[in-house]
Chain A
Amino acid sequence: MWYNFEIFAAISLVFWLAGSIWAVFGRTRRDSIIFRSLIMAGTVMLAVFVGKLWITIERPPLRTLGETRLWYSLFLSVIGLVIYQVWRYRWLLVYAVGLAIVFLLINFLKPDTHAKALMPALQSYWFVPHVVVYMIAYAFMGVSSLVGIFAVYRWHKGQPNGDTMILGDNIVAVGFGFLTLGLTFGALWAKEAWGNYWTWDPKEVWAFLSWLTYLGYIHWRYHKPKNIAQQQYYLALAFIVLLGCWYGLNYLPISAYSVHTYTK
């Protein structure tokens, strides 16, 4: 059942849309305060909803894809705001919120049922840190891929791109830190729940593959910071592997071999 979700989502969406439009057209310092407040209001609305949902279903809403999408939207908007606060990238804020809107809309169009049942294997103090850390990592990597796309766009317009790639490096570094935490927390949890910290289950294979994808990127950037022409495409496309782990796996035949796919 959807506990008033549509109302909360609608309010968040309206705030976010209004904030994004204001950010696109506003020019003054006052405008900057207004669009940030609007976006923040949308984020708070969504946070309230997630909290309410958590209480209503008596378990952390982190089990189904729909539930993880909620957190993803939430973290995207937060990360957009934080990066704006630090580096004043307005386009990044708009795109991050845009992506958050898209994921919230998917939930709108594809509502799932929030059953209270949480299988024993998921009842662990690791559940919340593991999934939340992963959703933060995904949000950073999603934003980094936007940076990659933006870099490609600027490249084709012949504009200098060094700064954009450095922004990408910083976002990837933080995101990769969270990705590493997610991977290790997952292993520590698996030892408690299943007895083995790593069994090369399809979900683990995909998680490790995404991790390697960014590991390669970080080292490549470190070695050849001027090789932007290829790196920007790599950065823009690397996110596909992450999406494969998060989403795609459920649709691949190999998921039949996984104990970690909880969405039927």
Chain B
Amino acid sequence: MIHKNDSIRKIGQMPWGYTEGFFVALAILFAGSVLETIRPLKTNTFAYPVNIFVGLFIVTLIVISYNQIRKWKFVAWLASVPGSISAIGLFGVLTLSMAFIPQSPNAGSGFIHHLVSTWLYVLAVFFMLWSLGVVTLRRILRIRRKSDLGFVSAHLGLWIILFAGTMGAPDVLQFRMQLKLNEPTKYGFDDKYRLYDMPFKVTLNDFTMEEFRPQISMVDITTGSVVTYNGKPATFEISDTSVTKLMGFEVRLKTFYPMAYRDSFAYHASTDTLSVPAALIEVSHNGETRTGWMSSGNSTRNPEVFRLNQSIVLAMHLPEAKTFKSNITIQASDGSTKNGVVNVNAPIDFEGWKIYQTGYDENLGRWSQYSVIELIRDPWLPVVYTGCFLLIGGAFYMIFSKKKTQVPDEEPAA
């Protein structure tokens, strides 16, 4: 005879399940908030060598937990699916908060505006690393089949990324440098505009920029906004070959100069500083044809529009950047030098630093007198990448592994 109480487990009674997971996650949220209020996490709390010791501690904890899994009921739960789902869920709650609460000092004070640098986040990561670590270790020690490899690849990869990504973050050095042509610069500044003496000098030899052909829009001068036509904005690209037909107007391009200057009659091609993009266009409307110049202007020159009728003009947009890059020379104090071009999406490496093209004087565009580069040193990057490649391996396994079969709902495959 089975008593009712034998089959219905009370909350808190072993083995734990999802309900207990909910309370563990809640407890961590609470503890993290209290800790953060009393003693806020400092950005460099886990900087080297603390992160190495924390890493050793977590790994030791995982190994001991694995050995005691039969004795320590909590660990048995931690390494079960309800345990890992609690860890995933807690991470989910923090992520959900960040999905709606702006994470930026501009958005307000209080730790909810910088959740990832709080104890809440650290504790959530710790919980996840502990659970995921025991799960992964258990599987590593019993690798037999291909599916075990897929499992270990994904889980170990994620563990490494989580650990190296969070614990390695304080070790990242990140500075900007503003380079003037031919002037060696030795100082970088951080995100709070504090100056740092860098271990090398950087000289800008050349800054070059290419622009897309500017777009042209029909603008209603009574409202100042772009005209819409068939539900789309009346904006188009000027092409050498095609004719643009819009609202009964036919627009043809006769001449285009990416860089030009104006005299009292026309625009002429130019390479002078501060020259502007200009186009000679021909517009036909109701059998009448007119030609005229237009230009987008720049910070010092006025734009020139083409009048279509009393209320509508054709106006040229400012050109958008296509590429901008800097030719630089780097000289380390030990005498080693390197010459190279930094381009967006193509940083260059120098003695453990990665150097990025980030900006220029946007008011002057291609005539910018300076170039802004970013210098980043992240000693944990190879570790994070190792984790990424393991995770990618696990993802490929998930895509291509043999799937469970089921009875088809209808006719069998031919």
Contact yes or no, B344 A177, CB < 8 A:
no
Q: Does B236 have its Cβ within 8 Å of any Cβ on chain A? A: yes
Minimum distance in angstroms from A232 CB to a CB of chain B? 15
For B354, the closest partner residue in chain A by CB is A195
Instruction: Give the one of B103, B323, B345, B412 with max A CB within 10 A.
Output: B345
Contact yes or no, A180 B99, CB < 8 A:
no
Contact yes or no, A170 B374, CB < 8 A:
no
Contact yes or no, A208 B95, CB < 8 A:
yes
For A211, the closest partner residue in chain B by CB is B95
Contact yes or no, A111 B231, CB < 8 A:
yes
Q: Does B395 have its Cβ within 8 Å of any Cβ on chain A? A: yes
Among B81, B244, B321, point to the contact of A120 (Cβ < 8 A): B321
Q: Does B174 have its Cβ within 8 Å of any Cβ on chain A? A: yes
Contact yes or no, B403 A216, CB < 8 A:
no
For B103, the closest partner residue in chain A by CB is A200
B85 surroundings in chain A (CB, below 8 A):
216, 219-220, 223
Q: Does A206 have its Cβ within 8 Å of any Cβ on chain B? A: yes
Q: Does A131 have its Cβ within 8 Å of any Cβ on chain B? A: no
Minimum distance in angstroms from A188 CB to a CB of chain B? 7
Contact yes or no, A87 B100, CB < 8 A:
no
Q: Does B233 have its Cβ within 8 Å of any Cβ on chain A? A: yes
Interface of A (DSSP majority class): helix
Minimum distance in angstroms from A255 CB to a CB of chain B? 10
B391 surroundings in chain A (CB, below 8 A):
180, 184
CB under 8 Å from chain B, chain A span 179-196: 180-181, 184, 187-188, 191-196
Contact yes or no, B403 A88, CB < 8 A:
no
- Which of these binds chain A: B45-53, B86-94, B136-144, B307-315? B86-94
Contact yes or no, A178 B406, CB < 8 A:
no
Q: Does A166 have its Cβ within 8 Å of any Cβ on chain B? A: yes
Q: Does B392 have its Cβ within 8 Å of any Cβ on chain A? A: yes
B95 surroundings in chain A (CB, below 8 A):
205, 208-209, 212
CB under 8 Å from chain A, chain B span 209-223: 212-213, 215
Q: How long is the Cα–Cα vector from A219 to B398 in the complex, in angstroms?
A: 13
Among B244, B320, B374, point to the contact of A195 (Cβ < 8 A): B374
Residue interface mask B308-338, A partner, CB < 8 A = 1? 0000000000001111100000000000000
Q: Does A142 have its Cβ within 8 Å of any Cβ on chain B? A: no
Q: How long is the Cα–Cα vector from A198 to B376 in the complex, in angstroms?
A: 14
Contact yes or no, B354 A116, CB < 8 A:
no
Contact yes or no, A219 B84, CB < 8 A:
yes
- On whether A116 and B410 interact (CB within 8 A), knowing A170-B404, A197-B384, the answer reads no
Q: Does A215 have its Cβ within 8 Å of any Cβ on chain B? A: yes
For A258, the closest partner residue in chain B by CB is B102
Q: Does A263 have its Cβ within 8 Å of any Cβ on chain B? A: no
Minimum distance in angstroms from A78 CB to a CB of chain B? 15
A90 surroundings in chain B (CB, below 8 A):
409-410
Contact yes or no, A215 B212, CB < 8 A:
no
Contact yes or no, B409 A163, CB < 8 A:
yes
A222 surroundings in chain B (CB, below 8 A):
81
- On whether A174 and B92 interact (CB within 8 A), knowing A198-B165, A206-B99, A257-B103, the answer reads no
Among A113, A188, A195, point to the contact of B233 (Cβ < 8 A): A113
B235 surroundings in chain A (CB, below 8 A):
113, 115
Q: How long is the Cα–Cα vector from A118 to B99 in the complex, in angstroms?
A: 27
CB under 8 Å from chain A, chain B span 135-165: 154, 165
Contact yes or no, A177 B321, CB < 8 A:
no
Minimum distance in angstroms from A40 CB to a CB of chain B? 15
Minimum distance in angstroms from B271 CB to a CB of chain A? 23
Minimum distance in angstroms from A143 CB to a CB of chain B? 14
Q: Does A47 have its Cβ within 8 Å of any Cβ on chain B? A: no
- On whether A116 and B384 interact (CB within 8 A), knowing A121-B345, A170-B403, A254-B99, the answer reads no
- On whether A120 and B345 interact (CB within 8 A), knowing A87-B413, A88-B408, A254-B102, the answer reads yes
Contact yes or no, A195 B174, CB < 8 A:
yes
Residue interface mask B361-388, A partner, CB < 8 A = 1? 0000000000000101000010011001
Residue interface mask A231-256, B partner, CB < 8 A = 1? 00000000000001000000011101
Q: How long is the Cα–Cα vector from A244 to B96 in the complex, in angstroms?
A: 11
B231 surroundings in chain A (CB, below 8 A):
110-111
Q: Does A173 have its Cβ within 8 Å of any Cβ on chain B? A: yes
Q: Does B346 have its Cβ within 8 Å of any Cβ on chain A? A: yes
Q: Does B72 have its Cβ within 8 Å of any Cβ on chain A? A: no
Contact yes or no, A177 B320, CB < 8 A:
no
Contact yes or no, B399 A188, CB < 8 A:
no
CB under 8 Å from chain B, chain A span 136-167: 162-163, 166-167
Residue interface mask B155-189, A partner, CB < 8 A = 1? 00000000001000000101000000000000000
Minimum distance in angstroms from B80 CB to a CB of chain A? 8
Q: How long is the Cα–Cα vector from A84 to B381 in the complex, in angstroms?
A: 43
Q: How long is the Cα–Cα vector from A85 to B412 in the complex, in angstroms?
A: 10
29 A-B contacts, Cβ less than 8 Å apart? A88-B413, A111-B232, A113-B233, A115-B215, A117-B212, A117-B320, A118-B322, A123-B345, A166-B404, A166-B406, A173-B403, A174-B398, A174-B403, A181-B392, A181-B396, A184-B391, A188-B388, A193-B344, A195-B356, A200-B103, A200-B116, A202-B99, A212-B91, A212-B95, A216-B92, A220-B81, A254-B100, A254-B101, A257-B102
17 further A-B contacts with Cβ under 8 Å, apart from A87-B408, A166-B404, A176-B398, are A1-B236, A88-B412, A89-B410, A90-B410, A115-B237, A119-B321, A120-B322, A121-B344, A163-B407, A173-B403, A177-B398, A180-B154, A202-B102, A208-B95, A222-B81, A223-B80, A254-B100
